[in-house]
Amino acid sequence: MAGEILAGPVGRHNGAVTVKRRFWRRRRDLEKQRAARIQREDDTAQYVSMIGELSDTELMELLPHAPGVSDPRIEMEMQRRLKGAIFSLIGVIVEFRESSKAADKRLARQTSTLIFFTYVLMVLTIVIAILSYALLRKG
């Protein structure tokens, strides 16, 4: 009786063979799933690389015209580019502000110099007027 339980009925496969088949089928299925996953990852990497190489107009053309039907990777690429453009714009604005401050300092210095020379010119004009009056009185 113990032999019948281990060996199973005559003419049929025993449980050990069935377990081995299930094991090998499961292993084969897992290998197929792994190969499919690797293939999907490769395809995704190529697709993302292709999206990154497109121009902005080509990327916009890939978007469907119906809302909500878009590929999230395209939207993510557009958001990435938008963030990059925003950071670039911020950098340009900061540079402009710094150059504007430098130009403001230079203009203030030049204005001060111009005001100084205007005062000097006024003083010299008054001196010439006084000397001219003195010469006219003398002469």
- The alpha carbon of residue 106 and the mean position of all alpha carbons in its chain are separated, in whole angstroms, by 36
The sign of the dihedral angle between the CA atoms of 64, 69, 70, 76 is: positive
20 is a domain residue: yes
42 is a domain residue: yes
Average pLDDT over residues 22-34: 86
Residue entry with tokens 């916009």: 60
14 is a domain residue: yes
Average pLDDT over residues 17-26: 77
Listed residue (74, 79, 78, 82) closest to 44, CA to CA: 74
What is the domain extent for residue 29? Answer: 2-101
Question: Distance (Å, rounded) from C-alpha 70 to C-alpha 5?
Answer: 60
pLDDT at 7 over 70: no
134 is a domain residue: no
Among the ranges given (66-70, 80-84, 112-116), the one the predictor scored with the smallest mean pLDDT: 66-70
39 is a domain residue: yes
124 is a domain residue: no
Among the ranges given (54-58, 108-112, 125-129), the one the predictor scored with the smallest mean pLDDT: 54-58
Angle at which helices 72-138 and 15-53 cross, to 10°: 30
Average pLDDT over residues 54-64: 74
Tell me what pLDDT residue 5 has. Answer: 47
Number of domains observed in the structure of the chain: 1
| pTM, two decimal places | 0.44
